[in-house]
């Protein structure tokens, strides 16, 4: 249902700093696929997500969402169909606004909202229900400004906002990497829960090999702007961290040895 064909993206084209970040990526994402995306620094993972979301224009190729070619759609238009959560908890929410105002904004995504302003009473009930599943007791703090929340609370709220109106695709770019290990685990569990409940089609970038294997039904590895591994189902389930490291080694050789400790 999401078809990516021959996606090419170059930065600083024609200059000495030219970088070919995506070198003809093709990927068919099925409805309900939860794909973990791995690859070393500079492999093109964030660029792929940015190109899908429309943050960067592409040089060539096509992106189809449910048979609709969105390749030339501006970012704001794609945001009606695509949700994102970044590494930085500050990016997905608006600090000076209250929790309920943030949720109200998220609830309007892709909807015609006419003259309706502010937070409706009927919305509050929905927000309380949704917030209670986070187990962070935020349901009693609807009027608190988001700037008061901890990084983990804020990232959990961002996830909720990203999925309040079901997106056609959810893009997660190392969204737990900036959190302490315990909070990261909680946010990861919440991620899994939201994805399961709504059968969300998801691409999740991570540097954690174990996580990449444990989560999702499919795993892709990028290297130098290409997909060099694409496994799903039983094949993925049978893979070990060592298998993945071996793949890294094959493409990166000696250079990879120094990174090895960072990857596990
Ligand atoms: N806005 C930009 N301007 C110029 N070059 C960029 C830009 N964004 C990415 N690049 C370059 O494109 C290549 C791919 O970068 P990208 O951020 O997609 O890698 P990544 O796989 O997400 O890496 P990391 O694991 O470090 O986040 C890199 O060489 C990077 O320097
Ligand atoms: Mg990145």
Reported as a single tens digit per residue, the pLDDT across 117-137 is 678 888 999 999 999 988 899
**Distance between CA atoms of 19 and 1, rounded to whole angstroms?**
30
Output the residue whose Cα is nearest ligand 1's atom 29.
42
**What's the predicted TM-score (pTM) here?**
0.93
Best residue for ligand 1 mutational test, from 12, 37, 47 (most atoms within 8 Å of Cβ): 47
pLDDT at 255: 60
CATH architecture of 2-95+152-263: 3-Layer(aba) Sandwich (3.40)
Reported as a single tens digit per residue, the pLDDT across 28-75 is 999 999 999 999 999 999 999 999 999 999 999 999 999 999 999 999
pLDDT at 254: 55
Q: Which residues lie at CB < 5 A from ion ligand 2?
A: 45-46
Could you write out the three-class secondary structure of 230-249? Answer: EEEHHHHHCCCHHHHHHHHH
Burial of 36 (0-12, 13-18, 19+ CB in 10 A): buried
Q: What spatial distance separates the first Cα and last Cα of the chain, rounded to whole Å?
A: 32
Output the residue whose Cα is nearest ligand 1's atom 3.
11
Show me where the domains of the chain are located.
2-95+152-263
pLDDT at 97: 95
Residues (pLDDT < 50) of the chain are 257-258, 260-261, 264
Output the residue whose Cα is nearest ligand 1's atom 19.
42
pLDDT at 116: 61
Best residue for ligand 1 mutational test, from 8, 9, 11, 40 (most atoms within 8 Å of Cβ): 11
Residue 260: partners with Cβ closer than 8 Å, 6 or more residues away: 245
User: What's the 164 CA to ligand 1 centre distance in angstroms?
Assistant: 29
Best residue for ligand 1 mutational test, from 20, 40, 45 (most atoms within 8 Å of Cβ): 45
pLDDT at 247: 87
């Amino acid at each position: 249902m999401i078809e990516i064909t021959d996606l090419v993206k170059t930065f600083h084209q024609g200059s000495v700093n030219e970088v070919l970040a995506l070198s003809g990526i093709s990927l068919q994402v099925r409805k309900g696929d939860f794909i973990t995306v791995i690859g070393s620094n500079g492999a093109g993972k964030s660029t792929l997500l940015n190109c899908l979301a429309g943050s960067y224009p592409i040089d060539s190729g096509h992106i189809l969402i449910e048979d609709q070619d969105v390749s030339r759609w501006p970012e704001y238009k794609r945001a009606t169909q695509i949700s994102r959560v970044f590494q930085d908890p500050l990016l997905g929410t608006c600090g000076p606004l209250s929790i309920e105002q943030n949720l109200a904004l998220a609830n309007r995504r892709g909807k015609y909202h006419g003259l309706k302003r502010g937070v409706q009473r009927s919305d509050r009930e929905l927000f309380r229900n949704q917030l209670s599943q986070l187990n962070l007791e935020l349901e009693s703090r609807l009027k608190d400004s988001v700037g008061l929340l901890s990084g983990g609370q804020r990232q959990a709220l961002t996830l909720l906002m990203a999925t309040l109106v079901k997106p056609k695709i959810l893009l997660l770019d190392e969204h737990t990497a900036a959190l302490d290990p315990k909070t990261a685990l909680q946010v990861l569990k919440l991620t899994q829960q939201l994805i399961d409940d709504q059968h969300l089609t998801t691409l999740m970038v991570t540097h954690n090999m174990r996580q990449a294997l444990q989560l999702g039904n499919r795993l892709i590895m990028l290297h130098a702007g290409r997909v060099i591994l694409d496994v799903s189902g039983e094949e993925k389930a049978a893979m070990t961290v060592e298998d993945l490291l071996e793949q890294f080694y094959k493409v990166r050789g000696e250079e990879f040895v120094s990174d090895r400790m960072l990857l596990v």
